Amino acid sequence: MAKAKWNANTTVLGEASPADVVAFVKDRGIQIVDFKFTDLPGSWQHFSIMADELSEEVFEEGAGFDGSSIRGFMEIHESDMLLMPDPTTAIVDPALEVPTLSLICNVKDPVLGTAFTRDPRNVAQKAEAHLVKSGIGTVSYWGPELEFYIFDDIRYEQTPNSSFHRIDSVEGSWNTGKDEGPNLGFKPRYKEGYFPAPPTDSYQDFRSRAVLKMKECGIQVEMQHHEVGTAGQAEIDMRFNTLTRMADQTQLYKYILKNHARQCGKTITFMPKPLFMDNGSGMHVHQSIWKGKSNTFFDRGGYASLSQTALHYIGGLLTHAPALLAFCAPTTNSYRRLVPGYEAPINLVYSQRNRSACVRIPVYSKSEKSKRLEFRCPDPSANAYLALAAMLMAGLDGIKRKIKPGDPVDRDIYHLDAAAAAKVKQVPGSLEEVLNALEADHDFLLDGSVFTKDLIEMYIAYKREKEVDAIRLRPHPYEFHLYYDI
């Protein structure tokens, strides 16, 4: 009987069938079923049905919605689309009071009867299938490390004649002199937020409660801690998972944190660079390819125990990095973080241990199981489905073409002499540049029809119009400081 698969405390169904999900909804008194899917920029969208409307047929036939109202999807004359719920993603929604079952969905074109080419989750699934078809591996594993800020107040406004933003945080170093009735001190100094114990780290319990919510939803968490920035910068690291599952978890991770913060009277942002003069938030992505029970990246005799396959994969990442960043660092704000002369990973080289390189090979362990590489350029504003898929495609292209990554750089790149530093290539410095790079270099993404031209063209057009041009058209507040008295 299906009921035997859960108990009164079950919140995650796991490898469930449509029949299991329908039975669970009835057995547990679920009142609402929520369908979630991801738009092209990377935000979760959703709508809900009454629980008694859920049937096994819904999983086969889908649920209709207006695709013309979703960013990057369809025009108004072709708006009818279908959501196809994935029963293996069923969880009891952790953020809602009304008993609600949450299902992650794929998007389908009802006319063609095929998966929608601009559905990010579909792209991730095609990337995984392409890996298997290539013969290079049977599975890839991913471990993104998302950083974020926890604030107490955020205000911003843009009008034709004014513009401002103002952030506040009980942990903000700028509040050491504020009359807080009383001010109890212990506010992390700028760039000194890494690993201080409470009371300086005032968010230990906040993060722990968030981690426990994640655990209830099936996310395995390995670590949580305060990050370098003042004002509540933090990091919670998930245990590695397969590509699509990790992208699903990344969406759920953000959802849990944002709603947990709101319930606590706080607000969380995954903007790459919300504060001036302090650290930005990155999303360092650990990755490896396995073939059966063997890690294809491992060779005990290689540099940092890396195989030739891994080195060629790195060659693909470094070669295609300018185009990759259109998906991995996809906002104008991303390039407030990726700035030369600071700690951001802008140097297109690889190294063991060296965090000033774009690709780092962790050497904490000599075990084959732990051998992986870390691509450090991405940030958490990325659409995880597209970013992880794009990285895999770049790496596979490197393996296919045997792209050599050059020699490793195991010195602090920021202290190289001028001649040596001049030889180190750097990532582009703006969203406009990486979109141009993607426009010129995207054939590797089209291999196996993983990405499609219509997706790439829509993505570039959307980013140029809604983000690059939107910023270009507006005067920056600091320009008044620089130029008003000219």
- The strand pairing partners of 64, in sequence order, are 82
Whether 457 sits among the annotated catalytic residues: the reply is: no
* CB of 357 closer than 8 Å to CB of 219: no
Whether 145 sits among the annotated catalytic residues: the reply is: yes
Query: CA 346 → CA 196, 247, 391, distances in Å?
Result: 27, 24, 16
**Beta strands, E only, 30-136:** 32-38, 44-50, 63-66, 80-85, 91-92, 100-109, 114-115
What span, in angstroms and rounded, lies between the C-alpha atoms of 347 and 421?
A: 10
* CB of 369 closer than 8 Å to CB of 295: yes
Dihedral angle sign, alpha carbons of residues 246, 247, 253, 256: negative
What span, in angstroms and rounded, lies between the C-alpha atoms of 344 and 346?
A: 6
Active-site choice (109, 119, 145, 171): 145
Active-site choice (27, 52, 57, 66): 66
Active-site choice (130, 312, 372, 376): 376
| The pairing of beta strand 139-151 with beta strand 357-361 | unpaired
Query: What is the 8-class DSSP label of residue 386?
Result: H
Whether 97 sits among the annotated catalytic residues: the reply is: no
User: Is the bond into 144 cis (omega within 30 degrees of 0)?
Assistant: no
Active-site choice (28, 225, 336, 355): 355
Whether 66 sits among the annotated catalytic residues: the reply is: yes
Block residue for tokens 């978890």: 249
DSSP string, 247-297: HHHHHHHHHHHHHHHHHTT-EEE--S--STTS----EEEEEEEEETTEETT
Contact partners, residue 169, CB within 8 Å, separation at least 6: 149, 150, 151, 152, 153, 175, 230, 231, 232
Whether 227 sits among the annotated catalytic residues: the reply is: yes
Active-site choice (39, 299, 374, 432): 374
Q: Among candidates 444, 349, 358, 467, which has minimal Cα distance to 394?
A: 444
Quick check: helix, strand or coil at residue 327? helix
Active-site choice (207, 226, 284, 372): 284
Whether 284 sits among the annotated catalytic residues: the reply is: yes
Query: What is the 8-class DSSP label of residue 303?
Result: G
What span, in angstroms and rounded, lies between the C-alpha atoms of 243 and 330?
A: 19
Whether 374 sits among the annotated catalytic residues: the reply is: yes
Q: Among candidates 72, 75, 95, 77, which has minimal Cα distance to 11?
A: 95
Q: Among candidates 345, 173, 142, which has minimal Cα distance to 249?
A: 142
Block residue for tokens 């009891």: 92
Active-site choice (147, 379, 397, 432): 147
Active-site choice (86, 128, 171, 235): 235
Active-site choice (20, 171, 227, 299): 227
- Catalytic positions are 66, 145, 147, 227, 235, 284, 355, 374, 376
